[in-house]
Structure 1
Amino acid sequence: MVNCAAACGKPMTTSGVAKCTQCPSVYHKACVNMQRVPVGWACPSCKAKTPRRDNTDTPIKNDDLGEEDLSSPASMQDVAEQLRLLRAEFGAVRDEVAGLRREMAELRDMVEGYSSRIGAVEERVRCLEERMEERPAATTDSELAATVAALKIELCDRDQDLLLNDVEITGIPEVQSENSTHLVCLVARKLGVDLEERDIVFAERVGAARAARVRPRPLVVRLARRGPRAELLRAARVRRGADTADFGLPGSPCRFYVNERLTRTNRTLFYLARQECKRLDWRYQWTKDGRVYVRRNKDSAARRLRSESDIPEVFASASVC
């Protein structure tokens, strides 16, 4: 890319170009102070190299100094041309200085913006540090413990919600190569519930294998809909004492129980609640949709237990009342 031969030295464009007819130099029209390029135009460098014509007839201003008469037309033309070139160079320098000023202003604004943001962030950090210093350590620890306990309860509730279509059947003897789905259908028929195999998503024993003399493992069942699950639980409460007679299992009939399937946390909580109810002679403890409830008698209100820490609080407050 060709640059301007004048003082600006900037790259040339396709428009606004003045090309010398005596050398390959090109100029911006603004740099040589021209609107239109005349035919046969020569650049200032070529004009300076052109031999001067005979000036013997030019009047001498002072013979001793040998100075040229500036009042001649040729000298005035050269001076005017030099002034135009200087004016063009000064204009280019002025434009460059203005561009530098604009860039410096933009850079200053950018730096001021970053400085204000950094100052705001530092102020927020300082306020947080002051708040942490003012807050006692014990309060912070207790708040953290309360937050962790609340998160554990929330996670347990979410895990329990995933088991809303499940039931747990206990007490049915376990034999090799048993058909768990068929056993669930037998239990439903025994309880008077119309349940088909297509209503069962899966049915399987859970837990490690046990010896024959130990209690059989529970049978976990997931149903496709909550309606049959509710009917099974309702029928199990009505027909308490149902056993495995007519199931075709070896040995004497055994009583079986149908309950909601609980998470390990809620199962432990329900066990501790039953133990406490026995100790304090509370009559009622039950689960509903995976939630654990206790009640002292028919006239008292039901209380929900969300975690093990609720046990002393619930039973102590009820004893005081």
Structure 2
Amino acid sequence: MVNCGACGKFLSPTGAAACSVCPTKYHRACLAIAEKTQISKDWVCPNCKRHMRRGRQQPDAGSRGWCGPALAASESAGVSEFRREFTDCISEMREFRKELGLLREAFAAFTVRLDGVERRLEALERGQPEGDPARVTELEQSVLALKRELNERDQDALLSDLEIGQLPERKGESVLHSVLVLAGQLGVPLEERDVVFAERVGVRPAEAAGRPRRVVVRLASRRLRDDMLAAARVRRAGLAAAAGVRVFINERLTRHNRHLFSPRPRECRRLQWRYTWTKRGRIFARRGDGEPVYQFRVEDDLVRAFGPETVDRRAAV
């Protein structure tokens, strides 16, 4: 049904005054146009005329009466922007897959080297019961260095990952939806295409005294991961109030780094160290302002920083 642009009442298209710029139609009587007067195809309605720019034959694109080319240009700009974002997303995913492929090749090469060193060490121990202490020590150091390097490579593969703890778990939930809601509460708008995967890992709540399993998330870019971590630090109190529990969002660590990380906050509190943090999967601590920074790669680093009783406690546990 067509309504008059002036009075708003029903309008028959036959004999109506139609604007050549916008789709609005008018009663002839509302515009004081005689019934026998022929209306030009280039006729412009009063509303569009008011918004015409001086010296131009078309109304201002931002005016109320401009309904044709402006709308088409806006839709075209939106489609172009979407295509550009989609192309950027595809490029990022291709780069991520290429980088992941290179990491896998490096892991395979390190595994071969590690196996070779271990075989040589075992053969040396079998062939020489007493063994050459210097040679054995050298091989052991080589094995430790390779394991440390392999762990660092593993950690580099997790630079786009997050680990979320204490996120309430419900039967039949969509973990992806829970992560998107959590990101919205943090003020970081995520879309489904920004999440490579999101899943729960660990022991189910029924077997873990009701504690929810932790959530591991891989995002499409490291920038999004860093935005989530920064927002979690800033809005920690508001996040706890919204979720009803204290939700933890941290970098995802390898198993070896988690093993090193587990005693660190407890020992720092015991010894009154002020600063502990992780950066790109590396573990750091500092006693206070102006004090040296300790990086923890192996258990010897824990002993060097906190003393031998730290390792003794871990063994007792």
Of the candidates 138, 147, 170, which is equivalent to residue 152 of structure 1?
147
Aligned to 2:189: 194
Of the candidates 279, 294, 307, which is equivalent to residue 298 of structure 2?
307
Tell me by how many angstroms 1:246 deviates.
5.7
Separation in structure 2 between the aligned mates of residue 304 and residue 312 of structure 1, nearest angstrom = 12
Of the candidates 210, 216, 219, which is equivalent to residue 223 of structure 1?
219
- Cα deviations across residues 104-151 of structure 1 (Å, max 9, x unaligned)? xxxxxxxxxxxxxxxxxxxxxxxxxxxxx9xx8222222122111111
Structure 1 runs (4+) deviating above 2 angstroms are: 241-247, 272-276
Normalising by structure 1, report the TM-score.
0.52
Unpaired runs of 5+ residues, structure 1, are 1-132, 248-252, 317-321
Of the candidates 125, 137, 140, which is equivalent to residue 135 of structure 2?
140
Whether contact under 8 Å (1:241, 1:256) holds in the other structure is no
The answer to whether structure 1 residue 185 and structure 2 residue 180 are counterparts is yes
Separation in structure 2 between the aligned mates of residue 291 and residue 284 of structure 1, nearest angstrom = 14
Tell me by how many angstroms 1:271 deviates.
1.1
Separation in structure 2 between the aligned mates of residue 242 and residue 139 of structure 1, nearest angstrom = 58
Separation in structure 2 between the aligned mates of residue 221 and residue 188 of structure 1, nearest angstrom = 12
Amino acid at match of 2:145: A
Aligned to 2:272: 281
1:179–1:245 CA distance, 2 compared to 1 (3 A): farther
Whether contact under 8 Å (1:242, 1:255) holds in the other structure is no
Whether contact under 8 Å (2:275, 2:287) holds in the other structure is yes
Amino acid at match of 1:222: R
Separation in structure 2 between the aligned mates of residue 273 and residue 209 of structure 1, nearest angstrom = 26
1:272–1:210 CA distance, 2 compared to 1 (3 A): same
Separation in structure 2 between the aligned mates of residue 197 and residue 165 of structure 1, nearest angstrom = 15
Tell me by how many angstroms 1:213 deviates.
4.1
Tell me by how many angstroms 1:309 deviates.
1.5
Amino acid at match of 2:201: V
Separation in structure 1 between the aligned mates of residue 193 and residue 183 of structure 2, nearest angstrom = 13
Whether contact under 8 Å (1:172, 1:244) holds in the other structure is no
1:224–1:277 CA distance, 2 compared to 1 (3 A): same
Task: Write the mapping of 1:1-321 to structure 2, written as runs, cut at 5 A.
Answer: 137-211=132-206, 213-243=209-239, 253-315=244-306
- Cα deviations across residues 194-250 of structure 1 (Å, max 9, x unaligned)? 211110011110113122842111111100111111000011111122446666xxx
Q: State the structure with more CA Rg.
A: 1
Tell me by how many angstroms 1:168 deviates.
0.7
Aligned to 2:37: none
- Report how many aligned residue pairs link the two structures: 181
Aligned to 1:92: none
Whether contact under 8 Å (2:186, 2:239) holds in the other structure is no
Percent of aligned positions that are identical: 49
Aligned to 2:113: none
Tell me by how many angstroms 1:278 deviates.
2.6
Aligned to 2:39: none
Higher helix share: 2
Whether contact under 8 Å (1:242, 1:256) holds in the other structure is no
Amino acid at match of 1:277: C
2:139 aligned counterpart, secondary structure:
helix
Cα RMSD of the aligned pairs, angstroms, is 2.6
Separation in structure 2 between the aligned mates of residue 144 and residue 241 of structure 1, nearest angstrom = 50
Unpaired runs of 5+ residues, structure 2, are 1-127, 308-317
Tell me by how many angstroms 1:286 deviates.
1.2
